[in-house]
Amino acid sequence: MSSPQEQHIATYREEASELLAELETSLLELEENPQDNDLINRVFRAMHTIKGSGAMFGFDDIARFTHEVETVFDQVRNGKMQVTRCLLDLTLQARDQITAMLDASAGGPPADEANGQRIIEGLQQLLPQATQLKAEPVVSSPPKSSEAEIARTYRIRFKPLPEIMLGGTNPISLLNELRDLGACEVMAHLDAIPSLEQMIPEHCYLYWDIILTTSRGIEAIKDVFIFVEDDCDLTIDLIDDGNVPDADASYKKLGDILVERGDLSPVEMQKILSMQKRFGEILVEQGLVPASKVQSALMEQQQIKQARQERTATAAPAAAEAALSIRVPAERLDHLVNLVGELVTVQAHLTQIAGNRHDNEISAVAEEVERLISELRDTTLNMRMLPIGSTFSKFKRLVRDLSAELGKEIDLETTGADTELDKTVIEKLNDPLVHLLRNSIDHGIEMPETRKAAGKSAKGIVHLAAEHSGDSVLVTIRDDGAGLNKEAIRAKAVERGLITSSTEMTDKEIYNLIFAPGFSTAQKVTSVSGRGVGMDVVKKAIEALRGTIDINSTPGKGSLITLKIPLTLAIIETLLVRIDQSYFVLPLTMVEECIELTRADVQATHGRHLAHVRGELTPYINLRDEFEITTSRPDIEQIVILSVAGKRIGFVVDDVVGEHQTVIKTLGKLYRDVRGISGATILGDGTVALILDPGLLVQSVAMIEQEQFG
């Protein structure tokens, strides 16, 4: 079991990774909307949080490095620097450097310190001569601050919960962060410290009054407490707005300050005023207010007087939004899904027992258990659902960098970013999408001059979209490039012996040739493509997800690649079928209907695997033959009609048992290469049923027929 400190460090790494992803997204959006103050503030806040939390949890190298970047963007948000392409490039490189430093802290390869120093030097060169940069500014004028050149004074009472240090927070670090914001006076209060017998060493019994004069605004103060706002009583009051020009102007009297703070009642104040001694002395003598609180009020008077002599300026960052969520380690969630899967299997067993015993009471319990487990299953699977937008946002950087490397102008547009998928599916979908995007950028989109000559805009568009379709998600990648070159693909296939020069093929069949291992039409090998590695890997990865990939292309107008991916890989709805004593399951979403197949029907088609279904001939695959089950056939078999790659295909079985909730179990290494089988499941009576992959079964049969008949 890990120690609390290790848990806090792991939490920081996770939060920092999320902030770095948000930072990259914000920087790319800032490139498109450089006058957006909210984006500038989001960039600053992300870096400020990474720095502050890094210092708190011992990541001093990250804190020091991030401070340099934060300093530059502090100038930007104050309107003292322009947003330039040079600044954005360096900041994106800094983001990558922080990621490398974070990975190194977790046992990865060490970050390149020389690269980090180069980035810092580049950023520092921007600071003194921001208006003399050779790089063209992205904006014509810097963002303006509506309340520049004003320093304000705030009264802060920070009273942490006693248990705050158990979560890894050091209150002194927070006070030091406040000191970085401006002129700061701190007074500690000791009146809440219990007796030695009652004291818990790990608890914090101090609380503080802070008088802070800063030009950074109240949101900068709130940023300091962003991670502990639920673990403390915090009040921040503006006590001087910086608009009093006379440094000698009087401030509130000592009694007024204490009453305003709630440390003294108005009645008690009037009673004290009737005495001759100094107000503060009388308060302490009579025990009405602790000496520390009187001293704190006097400190406030002095701070305001000093603040009115020096005025500086800044703009306040955007307000922080509290996240109403909790963090759960991914492995715990995976374990929960596995347990729910086992419950589904046990529930199926219970339902079977209830059906065999014909006991109404047991049947009622079984139905209730089935309902509850069904709800638990849906809730648990929904907990693992994440918006695919988190993956989409990563690709903006990929397109930006790759198009610059190739000398092309390309924009990535996305829709359906809120479409949700199982987190495991999203993780496994990342690499195939990277391959497909790189192909669209390298092969699909033409060079600017070529596009202009063809009457197109110099800037190409790659559109990435996602949408739900039943219990699957359709992910499409569309580009407005040159489209696939059918002649080049066909010629390459003939050259490699995949087809003969006389082979007749549809456009779709020609396009599918690019999925052959090692297939590439690139004329030269580049850092992006041309080695014949990619599309075959993509196809295998999509099939491993029980998904399909489809390609359409129009010469001169572009290409469309469609991926159909299941929502989850854990539990699916299936149709349970039987052949002799063996059980199989088919994905229910692909099933269209079930019909009977008699021996007379087989004789009518002279043994060809065709069935008359609603006036149309539908091909079918006899699974008994495919799996070499040699027992006698029943007089009446069943054909399950499925939609496979847009075509109606039948699968002949002995009997259709019915719908079934299938908990997917992976096959051992020995059986992973068996085509047409994607996994297995356990039925209620302990019987193992194989999960069929209709798409791969159709391909397997087609390959066998091609080998037999040429």
Domains of the chain with bracketed CATH = 4-132 (1.20.120.160), 152-307 (no CATH), 330-384 (1.10.287), 401-566 (3.30.565.10), 571-709 (2.30.30.40)
CA distances from 652 to 573, 590, 602 (A): 20, 15, 12
The answer to whether residues 119 and 273 touch, using CB atoms and an 8 Å cutoff, is: no
In the chain (710 residues long), the average pLDDT of successive 10-residue segments reads 69 86 90 87 86 81 88 84 88 93 88 91 75 40 45 91 85 88 88 91 92 86 85 90 60 78 80 70 81 82 67 35 61 86 87 87 91 88 84 86 90 90 87 90 91 92 88 89 89 86 85 81 53 70 83 91 84 89 90 90 83 87 90 92 85 92 78 77 84 83 57
Residue recorded with tokens 């063209």: 136
User: CA gyration radius for the chain?
Assistant: 34
What the block records as the tokens of 218 is 């109240």
Q: Cβ neighbours of residue 5 under 8 Å, at least 6 residues apart?
A: 168
**Residue 559: per-residue pLDDT:** 93
Q: What pLDDT does 249 receive?
A: 55
Q: Could you tell me if 119 and 97 are in contact, meaning their C-beta atoms sit under 8 angstroms apart? A: yes
Q: What is the pLDDT of residue 312?
A: 36
pLDDT of residue 526: 52
Is the Cβ–Cβ distance between 676 and 696 less than 8 Å? yes
Distance, CA of 73 to CA of 87 (rounded, Å): 9
Helices (H), 606-654: 623-626
The answer to whether the CB of 542 falls within 8 A of the CB of 696 is no
Look at residue 131 in the predicted model and tell me its pLDDT: 39
Which amino acid appears at position 15 of this protein?
Answer: E
Q: What is the pLDDT of residue 95?
A: 93
Q: What is the largest CA-CA distance in the chain?
A: 121
Which phi and psi (to 5°) does residue 677 adopt?
A: -115, 120
- Tokens representing residue 145 in the block: 């601050």
DSSP structure string for 413-470: EEE-TT-EEEHHHHHHHHHHHHHHHHHIIIIISPPHHHHHHTT--SSEEEEEEEEEET
